[in-house]
Amino acid sequence: MTPVRSVTVLTHSRPGQIAPTLERLIADALEAGVELRFDSEEAEKLGLQSGGPIVVDSELCEDVDLCIVLGGDGTILQGLRRYARTAVPVFAVNYGEVGFLATIDPAEIAESGFGCAFEREFEELLLPAITIDTGAGRQTAINDVSFHRLVGGRVAQLSYGVEGEEVGSVRCDGLAVCTAAGSTGYNLANGGPVLAWGVEGFGVSFIAPHSLTARALVVAPADALSVANRGREAVDINIDGRPVCQIAPGDELIARYEADAARLAQLPGWSFYRRLRTKFGRLSS
């Protein structure tokens, strides 16, 4: 297998926390002859200048072999969205609370370095996505698309249907549409089902439903899900936790499942079930 020669680097918002790992990344890249690319925002945040393996003010282009993320799930999702529908896998060092999508922990990097990344000693897990078309263009979610009532506003009235057939209408604070990878996020907090990685289709769960009959739903991968705003106020829409737009009263959006949209690096032996036990067991210990 061809070793890695160029890498995009993304980091979270606390540069001091990742400093030791970043230093190790730069040192290992210099030794391995790997080019590290940082866009202008990353370079300014980290105080970097071009030299050695470092290239600053580099566009987040697809002409790289790997994307390395030093951060939590939010930053990892940023990398997965950026390199969706490409051959570039995302290799993530966990600096988040849970790090469910992370490839490796900082302690392991401190011990063994980035050789496993540069030598491609990892497996690539293909992750699905959910797409919606908005006025701002097509949006891609790796974890979830969530609909929220406005802060301080009325309770939302959201109807949802599959393939043009209305399934129900619920008064609620919101609704989440998730992939299997995202089912352990907002969906889990809503009481929705956890979907093992590899399960096709997407889940629908409700945020604080004002109903005794609202139930989570798993939609088949080939079916389109419609969500309509039946209330009197706009509803916020978030992609992987980021606000992107609103849906006006009377309007609807269509969510569609897309298989094999992004590539996540994972070390051999890390099954979904081991990851689930390790990451969420840690929170309860």
Q: Tell me the one-letter amino acid at 28.
A: D
Quick check: 115 and 28 in contact, CB under 8 A? yes
- Residues with Cβ < 8 Å from 89, sequence gap 6 or more? 66, 67, 83, 122, 124, 263, 264, 265
Catalytic residue among 28, 39, 65, 73: 73
Task: Decide if 133 is catalytic.
Answer: no
The rounded distance, in Å, linking the Cα atoms of 28 and 251 is: 52
Quick check: 115 and 253 in contact, CB under 8 A? no
* Tokens standing for residue 214: 């609202």
- Residues with Cβ < 8 Å from 219, sequence gap 6 or more? 162, 201, 202, 203, 204, 225, 257
* Tokens standing for residue 165: 């057939």
Centre a 10 Å sphere on the Cβ of residue 124 and count the other Cβ atoms it contains. 15
- Residues with Cβ < 8 Å from 24, sequence gap 6 or more? 109, 110, 113, 114
SS3 81: helix
**Which residues are designated catalytic?**
73
